[in-house]
């Protein structure tokens, strides 16, 4: 019983230490459509549409670049070509692919990545503009 308690305390200490000592500039989050819209006003932010090329052509956010998350040959190469210190804004149709892409970017060492909760569906529901 004591060893189990000790192991639990070590795990808690490790997790606490990670959050206390990770770099302060890490900004990784799923954000709502209002916050995402605000973030797109930053001219230095790179907006990435992780949907398929066909979905992208049907309508996308202004300044967005397309890199298909489902293309697991090309997508990791695309991420490797990016500067890990830039601000990135990700979106897809519903938020699932962009959330997975954000987690992958976090694993690769990116520090400023936001993904749109609800994806382009939430963007359209908020009557925000698309490029067609």
Instruction: Quickly count helices (H) and strands (E) in the chain.
Output: 6, 5
The alpha carbon of residue 55 and the mean position of all alpha carbons in its chain are separated, in whole angstroms, by 18
Residue 18, in any domain of the structure: no
Q: Domain of 46?
A: 25-125
- Asked whether residue 6 is domain-assigned, the answer is no
Residue 52 domain-assigned (yes or no): yes
Sheet of 46-49: strands edge to edge?
A: 27-31, 112-116, 87-91, 46-49, 65-66
Q: Tokens 């000592």 identify what position?
A: 21
Q: How many structural domains is the chain composed of?
A: 1
Q: List per-residue pLDDT tens for the chain, 132 residues long.
A: 555 554 444 554 444 444 444 444 557 899 999 999 999 999 999 999 999 999 999 999 999 999 999 999 999 999 999 999 999 999 999 999 999 999 999 999 999 999 999 999 999 999 999 999
DSSP string, 46-101: EEEE-S-HHHHHH-B-TT-EE--TT-TTHHHHHHHTS-TTSEEEEE-SSSHHHHHH
**Has residue 29 been placed in a domain?**
yes
How far is the C-alpha of 82 from the C-alpha of 113, rounded, in Å? 12
**E strand or H helix that includes residue 19:** helix 2-21
CATH of residue 58's domain is 3.40.250.10
């Amino acid at each position: 019983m004591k060893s189990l308690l000790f192991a639990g305390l070590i795990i808690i200490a490790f997790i606490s230490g990670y959050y206390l000592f990770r770099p302060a500039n890490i900004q990784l989050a799923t954000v709502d459509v209002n916050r995402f819209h605000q973030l797109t006003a930053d001219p230095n932010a790179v907006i990435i549409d992780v949907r398929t090329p066909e979905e992208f052509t049907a309508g996308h956010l202004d300044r967005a670049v397309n890199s298909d998350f489902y293309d697991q040959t090309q997508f990791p190469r695309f991420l490797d070509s990016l500067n890990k210190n830039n601000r990135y804004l990700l979106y897809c149709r519903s938020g699932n692919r962009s959330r997975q892409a954000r987690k992958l970017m976090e694993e690769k060492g990116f520090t400023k990545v936001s993904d749109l909760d609800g994806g382009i569906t939430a963007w359209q529901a908020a009557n925000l503009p698309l490029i067609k």
